[in-house]
Structure 1
Amino acid sequence: MIEPVTKRRTDGLSKEVIVRAAAAILDDGGEAALTFRALTARLSTGYGAIYHHVANKSDLLAAATDAVIARVMRDAVVGAEPRQALRTVSLGLFDAIDAHPWVGAQLSREPWRPALLEVYERIGGLLVALDVPAEALFDAAGALVNYVLGVAGQNAANARLLTSDEADREAFLGAVAARWAALDPDEYPFVHQAATQLREHDDREQFLAGVDIFLAGIATLR
């Protein structure tokens, strides 16, 4: 007797495989594209094989987010000087959320999940290594994590408004910079002066500059 395809597929189907397939769907079409119908089609399996590992879409989103953040934490430089390690972790999170915009949304939606705990634990531990006083650790870690995830999430949201074509980004920034430059310099002196920098700035470099500003402020707590 020939076993049904769904039965054969279930035998070798792991949660890791399911989560990886879900992440691919999320990357291609966002949260709206992730349905159990789409997932079973991609995996050539039945609903029962999926529900054996994940309870619902929320559980699947959380597991996919946990997997992305776990990779960032795993790939972070081990044994590096704490300040450089903080920059590496921060940039890793920025790049991960840029590549997977749904991760930033999920972290905001369910901040109690293991993924965010891992972020706080890694950043908090590195701040301890920087000799930040115990009474200032909670506030310092919270401020830095909120900056990193907030800017990364906003950058990812902005990127979704454009295509992946760099020329489109340059044209968009050029148009905004032109509007800034046309403003009355007496009424908007800073914005008028910043127009040139807006046109030419690099998102990752500006993000790291912000991390450095936070770290410089944190250094004064010692």
Structure 2
Amino acid sequence: MTTRARQSVRRRQVLSREQIIASAIELLDDGGEGALTVRALTERLATGTGAIYYHVGTRDELLDAATETVIAAALAARTDPASPAPEDEIRATALSLFGAIAEHAWLATQLTTQFARRPSGPVTVGIFERIGRQVRALGVPQAAWFSATSTLVHYILGAVSQHVRFERDAHGAPGDVGREKFLGDVAAAWQDLDADAYPFVRAIAGQMREHDDREQFLSGIALILDGIARLR
């Protein structure tokens, strides 16, 4: 066996799939999807491309694996391990997903991709299973399980993705003005609108400026849960 071949074997033995995925997540967190390349990953791990392909596969498979890993960790979070109420479990799962996507900005796009490209994959079915079990536990009629669960899932992912885009735009503004200044500028612009053409937008400008993202997110969950309660 040549020296190069022996080194390749040792690398595959030392590196694990989990280590490769963890490094891929670090690259994604640091620079977004564009930062994740097989070359960048091999440089970070001081290994060859063979080890990457052997343990995980292509770049797309790396993205899938990174997404699955982060979502699996988010779904593993629970409230009271004994017997949480379904509503509490839904809120806890929603907040866990909120936190995961807020922490890993690249995840928002990947979740959309997963739902469209891999509807039978572990990410899609994992989220639906976790939320859907609680919808069933709420006593919702079976005929409404899919619509109720879909409404919750789509709200959670859509609201969090919007939050991530908002945070990115706020910090990407000239001078990196930050969230408070960004919201203040938007609120001021809303209040300057024509009173006859935009009375509602002017009225809520202050609320938009002062809102808390997580509280607003949970308010949306509460509204949906109130609607689901009527299905019973």
Q: Give the deviation of 1:104 after TM superposition.
A: 1.7
Which deviates further from its counterpart, 170-179 or 154-163? 154-163
Alpha-carbon displacement from aligned partner over 1:165-186 (angstroms, at most 9, x marks no partner):
9961101000000000111222
Name the residue aligned to 1:27.
29
Name the residue aligned to 1:103.
107
Name the residue aligned to 2:74.
72
Which deviates further from its counterpart, 133-142 or 72-81? 72-81
Q: Give the deviation of 1:96 after TM superposition.
A: 0.6
Q: Give the deviation of 1:196 after TM superposition.
A: 0.3
Return the TM-score normalized by structure 2: 0.90
- For residues 1-222 of structure 1, the aligned pairs below 5 Å read 6-77=8-79, 78=81, 79-111=83-115, 112=119, 113-163=121-171, 168-222=178-232
- The question of whether the paired residues in 1 share the 8 Å contact of 2:114 and 2:123 is answered with no
**Structure 2 unmatched ranges of 5 or more:** none
- The one-letter code matched in structure 1 to 2:216 is Q
Alpha-carbon displacement from aligned partner over 1:65-93 (angstroms, at most 9, x marks no partner):
10111011111223211101100100111
Q: Distance in 2 between matches of 1:103 and 1:62?
A: 10
What is the SS of the residue equivalent to 1:178?
helix
Tell me how large the CA RMSD over aligned residues is. 1.9
Q: Give the deviation of 1:8 after TM superposition.
A: 3.1
What is the SS of the residue equivalent to 2:102?
helix
Q: Distance in 2 between matches of 1:114 and 1:189?
A: 46
Q: Distance in 2 between matches of 1:6 and 1:87?
A: 47
Which deviates further from its counterpart, 146-155 or 105-114? 105-114
- The question of whether the paired residues in 2 share the 8 Å contact of 1:6 and 1:44 is answered with no
Q: Distance in 2 between matches of 1:185 and 1:88?
A: 40
Q: How many aligned residue pairs are there?
A: 222
Q: Distance in 2 between matches of 1:23 and 1:162?
A: 24
Alpha-carbon displacement from aligned partner over 1:102-155 (angstroms, at most 9, x marks no partner):
212111112122112100000000001100111111100001100000111111
- The question of whether the paired residues in 2 share the 8 Å contact of 1:124 and 1:137 is answered with yes
Which deviates further from its counterpart, 70-79 or 50-59? 70-79
Q: Give the deviation of 1:58 after TM superposition.
A: 0.9
Q: Give the deviation of 1:6 after TM superposition.
A: 4.7
- The question of whether the paired residues in 1 share the 8 Å contact of 2:170 and 2:177 is answered with no
- The one-letter code matched in structure 2 to 1:80 is P
Q: Give the deviation of 1:161 after TM superposition.
A: 1.9
